[in-house]
Structure 1
Amino acid sequence: MKTEAMVIRQTGGPEVLTRETIEIPEPGPREVLVRIRAVALNHVDIWMRRGLPHVKYDFPHRLGADIAGEIEALGPGARGCTVGQKVLLAPAVSCGVCARCLSGEDNLCPQYRMFGETTQGGYARHIVVPDANILPYPGELPFTQAAALPLVYLTAWQMVVARAQVKPGDTVLVQAVGSGVSTAAIQIAKLHGARVIGTAGSDEKLARAKELGLDEGINYTTADFVAEVKKLTGSKKGVDAVIEHVGGDVFVKSILATRWGGCVVTCGATAGFAPTIDLRHIFFRQVRVLGSTMGSKGDLHRMIPLFSQGKLRPVVDRVLPLWSAAEAHRVLEERKAFGKVVLEVD
């Protein structure tokens, strides 16, 4: 069938995003056709558009992992869903039959593929997905808010809950509080009883983060966040955990901001992939450095009721039409957003 989409046929700047009519397949066995109503941006969209050396592109390529919409058609044997049902999509697919998938660790499946990265994504009016990717819809949220939920909350949940194992009484440092992952991490850490310190490059972003539960804010353009963290934790103790996705020097200094026996959990490196680390600060102080990518579909099922109950809420900076995807990319690249930039699909 034909549908309209924003695609890239080459890597480069935002201008490579173009509107086209494309062919997509009919839903096959245990697949569903989803009419997309909103798709949220993530930094992976920027990296994919610019070009990643390890990715084999299948042009025309569609970006977009965070998708909300309605089921338009069912393939043979599709389970657990009906035509017209409002849905969120889990943002990645896996084989579903390996030991990792069957153990609830589908994000460690050797065939794990994220929408918009190593498989086609949601910058379109329609997408065909496995029925296993269909998630319950979070209450009465509008599509543009629901689409801001899956990837960043899944990522933050795994970082805060599974990897850092944050518990009541812990102190957590969240880097770059204006990002989607960080706005989610603040709320999840508070939900688990932690005191949360956050960094940002502006007082405005820190003020907005305090509305989400941030206890203390540090403007890294006017203060050394390591020194400030030591002051805020008393006796130069440091924090129990750092939630980090910036990389570069911020990652290096995050290790210094951690208490003896604490941990740094990282899920990205927007400011640099190759920091220079003094390993003595890791082994002598017994700091754990933990990598984290996405999370399990089961975690998403556990989280969605928290949105319906108002215990978590998506943070949307602005909504633009899908056909303004290039403008949306510029907003994200220039770090003008607090929370998510969402594309509405007419």
Structure 2
Amino acid sequence: MVIKAQRAIIRKPGSFDVFDFEDFDIGKVQDNDVVVKMNYAAMNHLDLWVRKGLPGVTYPIVPCSEGMGVVVARGKSVNSLKEGQRVLLSPGIGDYLSEDYGIHGETCNGTLSSHLKQKSNLWIPLDDSIDDRVAAAFPLSFLTSWNMVVRRCNVKKGDIVFIWGAGSGVGHAAGQIAKLHGAKIIGTARGSKISKLDSGFWDLLVDPKVDDVVGAVRNFSSKGVDIVVEHTGEKTWKRSLSILKRNGRLVTCGGTTGPIVKINLPHLFIKNQMIIGSTMGSFEDLKNQILPRVSNGDLKVLIDREFDWKDIAQAHQHLEESNAIGKVLLKIK
């Protein structure tokens, strides 16, 4: 079978004009391969970093880590999936705790392609309880957040969890996951973004542009918070440590405002605090813990906007200017 396809590609890092589209042959379908006609890809801040030039990335590369579509071909050894079946792709490849763990769109070609061939064990079947847009939008941000809040910080009932960027993919997911486990949640959002969030869901929403974040948190909980979910970095780091209570845990998965931070070591060890790094999460959690909760509505996916995949440059600009509330989708036609 010859499958002609098209994909977006970044040949070298740069600004919004680096994207190109090329025709390609999907190649021979090996015994354990599955070929999927992609319907949607979804964007994350990782895509911005890859576009600008992320150390360790080999160019040219196809962007985006998340996506879903319909099976159109499979190798002779694949019995778990069938042609016509809707599937989503695991954003990660391999054991997330190992040194050779990979991420689509960073360590190998991503999902912004009309057709995608990948091994059968990386595709997860979908039932009718979840639609295409939601299926494409949740995997990376919810997997990252689940690992941060549940696996790394062991959130429990009664914990107070502070989350930067309540309207971001990771922030919105982390708030829901913490709430699902019985925690109280404090989030930040700027200006009009607060009105677009469910204020009844969050125990406290703070606008860091006009509010005193540390003061607001101390008014809510005089001793501070048990967990801080950090993915912003340099501009928020000092305040994150200021609001963390004794024996608290700060978990970080990124640094969107800058990667270099300072730590006052006596403050850290005298208060017996923990700073925890976290990247992605397990395939098993994605399939068995998160997907069922998204499908039944326990976890809700916030979608900001949908772009045609050929408008990838505009989508990047929209996300980079911090205009997004939730996930940005790319419709593949």
TM-score range, shorter chain: over 0.9
- Aligned-pair CA distance for 1:211: 5.2
- Letter of the structure 2 residue corresponding to residue 21 of structure 1: D
Task: Identify the range of structure 1 (257-266 vs 222-231) with the bigger mean alpha-carbon deviation.
Answer: 222-231
Gap change, CA 1:240 and 1:188, over 3 Å in 2:
same
Task: Identify the range of structure 1 (5-14 vs 153-162) with the bigger mean alpha-carbon deviation.
Answer: 5-14
- Aligned-pair CA distance for 1:24: 2.8
- Letter of the structure 2 residue corresponding to residue 322 of structure 1: W
How far, CA to CA, are the matches of 2:151 and 2:27 in structure 1?
37
Does the alignment pair 1:305 with 2:292? yes
How far, CA to CA, are the matches of 1:18 and 1:298 in structure 2?
35
Partner of 1:164: 153
Gap change, CA 1:226 and 1:139, over 3 Å in 2:
farther
- Aligned-pair CA distance for 1:109: 2.1
Partner of 2:196: 208
Question: Tell me, which stretches of 5 or more residues in structure 1 are unaligned?
Answer: 95-105
Q: Is the 8 A contact 2:85 2:125 kept in 1?
A: no
State the SS of the aligned residue for 2:312: helix
Q: Of 87, 108, 125, which residue of structure 2 is paired with 1:136? A: 125
Partner of 1:88: 88
State the SS of the aligned residue for 2:317: helix
- After superposition, give the CA deviation of every residue in 1:83-133 in whole Å (9 maximum; x if it has no partner): 111011111212xxxxxxxxxxx1012221101101001111111111111
TM-score normalised over the length of structure 1? 0.92
Partner of 1:327: 314
- Aligned-pair CA distance for 1:138: 5.6
Gap change, CA 1:127 and 1:312, over 3 Å in 2:
same
Q: Of 196, 220, 230, which residue of structure 1 is paired with 2:208? A: 220
- After superposition, give the CA deviation of every residue in 1:277-308 in whole Å (9 maximum; x if it has no partner): 21222111111101000000010112111122
Query: How many residues matched?
Result: 330
- Letter of the structure 2 residue corresponding to residue 305 of structure 1: P
Does the alignment pair 1:314 with 2:301? yes
- After superposition, give the CA deviation of every residue in 1:12-32 in whole Å (9 maximum; x if it has no partner): 011111222123323323121
State the SS of the aligned residue for 1:107: coil
State the SS of the aligned residue for 1:210: coil
Q: Of 193, 205, 219, which residue of structure 2 is paired with 1:231? A: 219
Partner of 1:285: 271
Q: Of 203, 217, 240, which residue of structure 2 is paired with 1:254? A: 240
Does the alignment pair 1:116 with 2:105? yes
- Letter of the structure 2 residue corresponding to residue 316 of structure 1: I
- Aligned-pair CA distance for 1:209: 2.9
How far, CA to CA, are the matches of 1:138 and 1:285 in structure 2?
47
Partner of 1:146: 135
How far, CA to CA, are the matches of 1:212 and 1:80 in structure 2?
42
- After superposition, give the CA deviation of every residue in 1:238-258 in whole Å (9 maximum; x if it has no partner): 001011100003122211111
Q: Is the 8 A contact 1:171 1:197 kept in 2?
A: yes
Q: Is the 8 A contact 1:136 1:304 kept in 2?
A: no
Q: Is the 8 A contact 1:175 1:199 kept in 2?
A: yes
Partner of 1:13: 15
How far, CA to CA, are the matches of 1:249 and 1:308 in structure 2?
36
- Letter of the structure 2 residue corresponding to residue 232 of structure 1: F
Partner of 1:268: 254
Task: Identify the range of structure 1 (17-26 vs 252-261) with the bigger mean alpha-carbon deviation.
Answer: 17-26
Partner of 1:49: 51
- Aligned-pair CA distance for 1:276: 1.7
Task: Identify the range of structure 1 (193-202 vs 331-340) with the bigger mean alpha-carbon deviation.
Answer: 193-202
How far, CA to CA, are the matches of 1:53 and 1:89 in structure 2?
24
State the SS of the aligned residue for 2:216: helix
- Letter of the structure 2 residue corresponding to residue 92 of structure 1: G
Q: Is the 8 A contact 2:129 2:296 kept in 1?
A: no
- After superposition, give the CA deviation of every residue in 1:50-95 in whole Å (9 maximum; x if it has no partner): 11132222x2x2001111111111023124111111011111212x
Partner of 1:189: 178
- Aligned-pair CA distance for 1:135: 1.3
Does the alignment pair 1:338 with 2:325? yes
Q: Is the 8 A contact 1:26 1:128 kept in 2?
A: no
Q: Is the 8 A contact 1:187 1:212 kept in 2?
A: no
State the SS of the aligned residue for 1:14: coil
How far, CA to CA, are the matches of 1:275 and 1:3 in structure 2?
44
Gap change, CA 1:29 and 1:109, over 3 Å in 2:
farther
Partner of 2:282: 296
Partner of 1:199: 188
Partner of 1:100: none
